[in-house]
Structure 1
Amino acid sequence: MRALLWFKQDLRLDDHPAVQAGLSAEQLLPVFILDPAQLQLNEFGSRRLGVHRARFLLESLVALDGALRQRGSNLLVVPGIPEEVIPELVERFSLQQVLTLAEIAPEESSQLNRVRQRLGTLPLVELQSNGLFRTDDLPCPVNELPQVFTQFRALIEERLHVFQPRPAPEQLPPLPDGAHELLAGLPTLSQMGLGEPLSVAGSAFPFSGGEIAAQARLRDYLWNTQGVRQYKDTRNGMIGSEYSSKFSPWLANGSLSPRRAVAELRRHESQYGRNESTDCLWAELLWREFFRWTLLRHGSALFKAGSLKATEHAPMQLDERFEHWCQGRTGMPLVDATMRELATTGYISNRGRQVVASYLIMDLQQDWRYGAAWFEEHLIDYDPASNWGNWAYLAGIGSDPQRRQLFNALHQAREYDPEAEYVSLWLPELRHIPQHLRHTPFLLPHLQLDALNYPRLEQIPETWRPYMPHAA
């Protein structure tokens, strides 16, 4: 059997069912396809793949190729459209099957179907993974899963799941004859039309892409520093690399298996004991799983204006306030600092995400889908299920029947950035005004604020009054 192994958002060898299935092949051609459509503007005016995600992707591909080389293989990276590239490679090398992982998002699933149609009778074998559970692992059919997270978690935890991920193989089958002629270097970000991002000392994610970096972070957080044991107390932090696990970027592009992460978490608990912090990390991994099954169940409805509650109405406006939000020029310092960190580094804290998303929807009354698309372009840990599921949840049109999540931005600033350290880090124009005014520069005289070149917030919500400086 001669097979093509199609990598997508699963850039690892550890705990990879398609890799395992390929071990029995006489010849195996590992392939990743760089689809130019990812770089084109979508209906919301954003790219599917921005500069930070692209950098992380290229680093992950270099790491995957290195791991394959160590095992007697290589990664063939080809620009093009999968439904054209894959049949061409199959014909050129007389391959007999295509192995890949199944998809849950509508566009990616449609692409798999187009490839299958072009392959005709040649089998496209989809193996289920990239989540914690396979369909057979669920306690009920997918369409009967609870649509409220707390109920979903309770149902999942009724049975004991023992995760036994399979390690990366020590050796892989050789490439088909002549395949080495097609091997070429990766394009640069500049060649992709994205430019080169600068390294930023204040980044909360100073790590590299790829499976080696993912495994190193897993060991470090669970075993070396045991940062996981303080996770409950630190997870609302906004500065530095250690306030949270930072697993999400590697989980998003598949450099880290969620089953491996949970297996290591359980191993840690068996040695050091379970506590509220390890429970919290488990809950976050379950949230990711909850959104994956929500997407699989509802499909394209999740991406529509009314999302999963067509009878509810989220704001549908789009005006210059959306651009100000994107640029970090709203006049609300915590929001602006978070949005500038996102544009500069491709990563922001979970707390920051909730605040800026709520502010765009509730305070600025803008169309939530444009915010979700902006996140898709810029976040290095973009995952369609978690991103669009969280945005819909905050807009009050997700599957959970609870009311909209309302975040008082100034209250959040006072609680999670009490000394204005975060705001000072990302808004240098505010560093030289008194600390107690850095969250409320709109209280400064007009001439002073103009001299700082910081936008004035014209309307101050009444709900902010209790969190104003006492002197105001």
Structure 2
Amino acid sequence: MLNEDDAMRRVLLWFKQDLRLDDHPAVQAALDADRIVPLYVFDPAQLQPGPLGSSRLGVHRARFLMESLAALDGELRQRGSGLLVLQGRAEQLIPRLVEQLDLDEVLTLDEIAPEERAQLASLRTTLGADKLRALPANHLLQASELPCTPDKLPSVFSQFYALVEQRLPIFQPRPAPARLAALPDNANAYFAALPSLSQLGLGEPLSMASSAFPFSGGEPAGQARLRDYLWQTQNVRHYQDTRNDLIGSEYSSKFSPWLANGSLSPRRVMAELRRHEAQYGSNESTRSLWRQLLWRDFFRWTLLRHGTALFRRDALKATARTPDQLDARFERWCQGRTGMPLVDANMRELASTGFISNRGRQVVASYLVGDLQQDWRHGAAWFEEHLLDYDPASNWGNWAYLAGVASAPRGRELFNALRQARQYDPTGAYVSLWLPELQGVPAHLRHTPFLLSHLQLDAMGYPRLEQVPEHWKPYLPSAA
């Protein structure tokens, strides 16, 4: 005769880059279970240097991750559950946990990146195909909502955008459940406190008053920002005018860090944006934010389709020739000591806060590849370690695009860094904010300190630019 516990459906709810309860297909699939074990596996190997020298996870994103996990645990506890966080490799830990807690099924979201897809495949083999269910991934558009099968999608964004625009889906995300099934009685012994950054060997990052991202990790913080940006301040209505600014928290939505670790659902963002437009009307800014969300999805489907190819030096263009050098100039770029103030200011902001503007990202990436002639993949890996909003598809897709090895119809479009400085930081306010050694330099020379004497530069402790590129000449001060 079966006892009551034997008849129960017991599931493992495996969270990865989807740290929320709102609009979560695996959470919804778990609602009919009698017992649920919510799990997150932290792999310490992410903290070790990878093949390109940088680690997979730096201090800023680690802090944001731990805040997000603490927030998810809080949300789960309010619903009668809790988050189990284990350290190690998921493909080793999960089969053991399934056996020890006598779990019937593992529910999780599908993956798009090659390593994570391989991990899922390995687990499926170990557990058995019927024990691991991967629900639709963290896309904005699910496969069924695409205008064609994923393998037939256009490889150029403008064509992808035009196709999607023809049949806009209605986004109806399902809210977080009010309650979740309790933990199995024997699960409590596995629970422990979240590791601190110090315990992970990272130390606590300093808080920066001038950070463009002064927000916390986690679903409640992400939802609060969504409400604030779309409804309270309605700054979304000015997004197109401000999105190339460099200073402050309001020049862009700042949704990307929460979207990257899944604390915020792209479908929830889109549903709220459509609701905002229904109430206040669409304008160039709301349409521009929609376009940015589609760029994110375009890169996701690109990664899913091309896999490991996106991480090669020639990426999606086998005939392309990109720089393969790596020398002291790369180190100076990382440190924000190239002698080009706009580049250095952005790189120091990134190292100090884990965030830089979209404009800044394009400028520093273009400078590394075009002016310094360094291997773009090392820049992408540096961003992977340091960016709060690192997402493999967007990061590597954008870098490949700037390096001229993505599926773009044109070749590489490199930026003139000094022209960008004049256009987007005309008074030098941004470089002054992040390069305190230049604060005493007259405003008209702040972007061109290399015109000062060696003596003056040495006294300030700012590096001298080795050579002034010819294409900068039109943007030098007229008196020079």
TM superposition score normalised by structure 2: 0.98
Residue equivalent to 2:440? 432
CA RMSD of aligned residues (A): 0.7
Quick one: which of 26, 48, 51 aligns to 2:59?
51
Unaligned runs of 5+ in 1: none
Q: 1:381-438, CA deviations, whole angstroms, 9 ceiling, x for partnerless residues?
A: 0000000000000000001121212100000000000000000000000001111111
Contact 1:93 1:177 in 2 (8 A): no
* Letter of the 2:249 counterpart: S
* Letter of the 1:457 counterpart: L
How far the C-alpha of 1:36 sits from its partner, in A, is 1.3
* Letter of the 2:395 counterpart: N
Structure 1 runs (4+) deviating above 4 angstroms are none
Contact 1:368 1:391 in 2 (8 A): yes
How far the C-alpha of 1:114 sits from its partner, in A, is 1.5
Contact 1:15 1:166 in 2 (8 A): yes
* Letter of the 1:125 counterpart: R
Verify: 1:342 aligned to 2:385, yes or no: no
Residue equivalent to 1:466? 474
Residue equivalent to 2:214? 206
Unaligned runs of 5+ in 2: 1-8
* Letter of the 1:10 counterpart: D
Q: 1:99-144, CA deviations, whole angstroms, 9 ceiling, x for partnerless residues?
A: 0000000011111112222213551000013111111111111111
Residue equivalent to 1:150? 158
Residue equivalent to 1:304? 312
* 1: CA distance, partners of 2:130 / 2:325: 48
Matched ranges for 1:26-45 at <5 A: 26-45=34-53
* Letter of the 1:118 counterpart: T
Quick one: which of 12, 26, 41 aligns to 1:18?
26
* 2: CA distance, partners of 1:121 / 1:136: 23
Residue equivalent to 2:398? 390
Residue equivalent to 2:98? 90
* Letter of the 1:368 counterpart: W
Aligned residues: 472
Please give the secondary structure, in 1, of the residue aligned with 2:339: coil
Residue equivalent to 2:226? 218
* Letter of the 1:24 counterpart: D
Contact 1:44 1:370 in 2 (8 A): yes
Matched ranges for 1:103-122 at <5 A: 103-120=111-128
* 1: CA distance, partners of 2:319 / 2:474: 35
Residue equivalent to 2:4? none
Quick one: which of 173, 178, 183 aligns to 2:186?
178
* Letter of the 1:428 counterpart: P
Contact 2:214 2:249 in 1 (8 A): yes
Contact 1:96 1:122 in 2 (8 A): no
Identity %: 71
Verify: 1:100 aligned to 2:108, yes or no: yes
Residue equivalent to 2:276? 268
Residue equivalent to 2:341? 333
Q: 1:228-280, CA deviations, whole angstroms, 9 ceiling, x for partnerless residues?
A: 00000000011000000000000000000000000000000000000000010
Verify: 1:289 aligned to 2:312, yes or no: no
